[in-house]
């Protein structure tokens, strides 16, 4: 699926969180969006996922504008989302969580569930099968019948990924999937994402951790203060003086990009990230 | 001893009605966070229609089904008015349901008048281990039990049921997996309407229905539902049955006049205790 973001702006209380951002992610591409705290990454993510509508500009999936569609209609078009926060369904098992993910692809309504029992059984079995495969793939097979709220943070994130995969997304949006994970978990996640890319899925990865995306992404878009300041292959972006300046500040002498830019640049809260995670 | 068995079974029959009303409230609250004060009206409208249909010669079963259908339709309409406009807060919706409940009085009086109505249920007296009770109570229990089993199946074993549960758990995440949260809210109101309607048509043969019967139903149903913080269907079921039995025992051994008071005292106690623990009830009250 091709994602086209064209001249998108969104302001909060008169302050632009995202300003005139354009980017095109080609089908099958793994694109990373990086930037310091408050660069507008999360706002851009929400504008693509449908949690926010842009003030101006357009978001298109395979050429069809979707910027005015609510999140659930975008999901029905094949957008799968994994949030940084543990947005799983508590009170349901991990397996049920993932089965809910199939909702976007299911067309069996109440009546067919209630009346056409054989057809419903077949679809139920199929969904269950698919959900178990997704759990297996994300390393959660052992957790299948445990309540979602009992899973540790890393597994909660994996559960969201399994849930998204069960909806057979053609565009996968990942919001800082590596944050808070231990080294081994991070490694596992990187392998998993590389595998998804190899399947030809289009992936947009918003990430704070620059080192994590350098080896995964086909191309990287760098945001700062709500604008795109650089875009290109990882090696190009790494060498770009504007990127180095944005991450380290204009007076920095060190030319190496640190993996944790928040430590270098004061993480002053800007209105850009407000309201993104209501 | 035979008195006790009689009171218990009668209590379960009455409690089944409360439990149906309570689970309607829970189904709606879980998905929409709206306390639906029109819940009792679904039962009254359904019972009134069933009475009219039976009076017009429609056979049993079909007439009751007509009543339940009207309950479900009313539920859908109340839902559409209460939550149809995107961005309506649950508090606003609550007031809307209260208003629609009062409006239902006017409609009921206009169509059916203000006199109590009833119709015969299962005739005769059943003999259970020496206890004699109206056979209709057994029918209420026999119908309610599979309805609850069906609900449990629906909410866990069907895509639509899981989608409803997902909305109840996390609306934000539900939208992300492609669930239309507003449509699920309307579905919850429809289910709530059908459950309320079923309570109405089942209990009318043993306790006539008037336009304001909804007060007793909503008080008892709410008391049962609030036991589980309005979000736990199994506790609402247990609470409904318990209330029915408690009231029948109170009426049987004490005196008939205190039935609603039993529910009110229970409800207030639970709400005060839960408010102190800042549970979901406190959240609603805010």
Domains and CATH numbers, chain A: 3-78+169-273 (3.40.50.300)
pLDDT of residue B93: 94
Q: Is B170 close to A89, i.e. CB distance below 8 A?
A: yes
* pLDDT mean values, one per 10 residues, chain B (286 residues): 84 94 95 94 96 94 96 96 88 93 92 90 82 88 94 89 93 92 94 96 91 88 87 89 88 73 78 69 42
pLDDT in tens, A178-200: 888 888 889 999 999 999 999 99
| Distant-in-sequence, close-in-space partners of B36: CB < 8 Å, separation ≥ 6 | B24, B25, B28, B29, B78, B82, B94, B97, B189, B192
Q: How far does the CA of residue B76 sit from the closest CA of chain A (Å)?
A: 15
pLDDT of residue A25: 97
Chain B environment of A83 (Cβ under 8 Å): 173, 176
Q: Which residues of chain A have pLDDT under 50?
A: 251-278
Q: Is the ipTM of this complex over 0.90?
A: no
A→B contacts (Cβ < 8 Å), by residue, are: 49-51, 70-73, 75-76, 81, 83, 87-92, 96, 99-104, 106, 108-110, 113-114, 120, 123-124, 127, 160, 163-164, 167, 278
Q: How far does the CA of residue A257 sit from the closest CA of chain B (Å)?
A: 34
pLDDT of residue B230: 87
Q: Is A101 close to B173, i.e. CB distance below 8 A?
A: no
pLDDT in tens, A42-57: 999 999 999 999 999 9
Domains, chain B, in order of start with CATH, read 2-285 (1.10.3470)
pLDDT of residue B256: 64
Q: How far does the CA of residue B171 sit from the closest CA of chain A (Å)?
A: 9
Chain B environment of A94 (Cβ under 8 Å): none
pLDDT of residue A114: 55
Q: Is B165 close to A89, i.e. CB distance below 8 A?
A: yes
pLDDT of residue A227: 94
What is d(CA B115, CA A186) in angstroms, rounded to the nearest whole number?
71
> Is B133 strand, coil or helix?
strand
**What is the end-to-end Cα distance of chain A in Å, rounded?**
28
What is d(CA A110, CA A120) in angstroms, rounded to the nearest whole number?
10
pLDDT of residue B131: 78
> Is A205 strand, coil or helix?
strand
Instruction: Name the burial class of residue B260, with classes exposed (0-12), middle (13-18) and buried (19+) by CB atoms within 10 angstroms of its CB.
Output: middle
Q: How far does the CA of residue A160 sit from the closest CA of chain B (Å)?
A: 9
């Amino acid at each position: 699926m091709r994602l086209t973001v064209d001249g998108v702006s969104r302001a909060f209380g008169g302050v632009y969180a995202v300003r005139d951002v354009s980017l095109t992610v080609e089908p099958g591409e793994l694109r990373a969006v990086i930037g310091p705290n408050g660069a507008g990454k999360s706002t851009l993510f929400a504008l693509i996922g449908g949690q926010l509508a842009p003030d101006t500009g357009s978001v298109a999936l395979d050429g069809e504008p979707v910027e005015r569609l609510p999140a659930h209609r975008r999901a029905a078009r094949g957008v799968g989302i994994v949030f940084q926060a543990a947005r799983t369904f508590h009170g349901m098992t991990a397996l049920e969580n993932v089965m809910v993910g199939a909702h976007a692809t299911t067309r069996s309504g109440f009546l067919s569930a209630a009346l056409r029992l054989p057809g419903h059984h077949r679809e139920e079995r199929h969904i269950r099968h698919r959900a178990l495969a997704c759990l297996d793939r994300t390393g959660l097979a052992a957790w299948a019948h445990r309540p979602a709220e009992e899973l540790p943070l890393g597994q909660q994130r994996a559960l969201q990924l399994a849930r998204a995969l069960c909806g057979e997304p053609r565009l996968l949006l990942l919001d800082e999937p590596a944050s808070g994970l231990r080294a081994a978990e991070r490694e596992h996640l990187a392998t998993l994402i590389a595998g998804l890319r190899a399947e030809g899925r289009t992936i947009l990865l918003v990430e704070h951790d620059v080192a994590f995306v350098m080896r995964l992404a086909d191309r990287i878009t760098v945001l700062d203060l709500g604008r795109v300041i650089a875009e290109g292959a990882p090696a190009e972006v790494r060498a770009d003086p504007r990127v180095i300046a944005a991450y380290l500040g204009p007076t920095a002498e060190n030319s190496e990009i640190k993996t944790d830019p928040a430590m270098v640049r004061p993480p002053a809260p800007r209105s850009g990230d407000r309201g993104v995670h209501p | 001893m035979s008195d006790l068995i009689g009171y218990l079974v009668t209590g379960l029959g009455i409690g089944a009605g409360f439990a149906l009303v309570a689970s309607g409230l829970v189904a709606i609250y879980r998905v929409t966070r709206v306390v639906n004060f029109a819940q009792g009206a679904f039962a009254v409208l359904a019972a009134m229609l069933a009475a009219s249909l039976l009076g017009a010669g429609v056979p049993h079963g079909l007439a009751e089904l007509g009543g339940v259908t009207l309950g479900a339709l009313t539920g859908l309409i109340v839902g559409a008015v209460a939550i149809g406009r995107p961005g309506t807060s649950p508090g606003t919706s609550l007031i809307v349901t209260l208003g629609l409940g009062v409006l239902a009085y006017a409609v009921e009086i206009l169509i059916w008048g203000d006199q109590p109505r009833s119709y015969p249920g299962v005739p005769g007296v059943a003999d259970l281990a020496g206890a004699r009770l109206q056979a209709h109570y057994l029918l209420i229990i026999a119908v309610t039990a599979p309805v609850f089993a069906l609900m449990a199946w629906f909410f866990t074993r069907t895509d639509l049921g899981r989608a409803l549960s997902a909305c109840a758990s996390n609306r934000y995440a539900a939208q992300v997996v492609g669930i239309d949260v507003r449509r699920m809210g309307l579905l919850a109101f429809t289910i709530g309407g059908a459950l309320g309607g079923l309570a109405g048509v089942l209990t009318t043969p043993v306790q006539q229905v008037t336009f304001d019967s909804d007060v007793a139903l909503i008080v008892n149903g709410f008391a049962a539902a609030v036991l589980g913080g309005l979000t736990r269907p199994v506790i609402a079921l247990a609470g409904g049955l318990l209330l029915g039995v408690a009231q029948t025992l109170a009426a049987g051994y004490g005196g008939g006049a205190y039935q609603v008071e039993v529910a009110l005292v229970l409800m207030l106690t639970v709400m005060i205790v839960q408010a102190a623990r800042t549970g979901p009830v406190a959240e609603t009250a805010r």
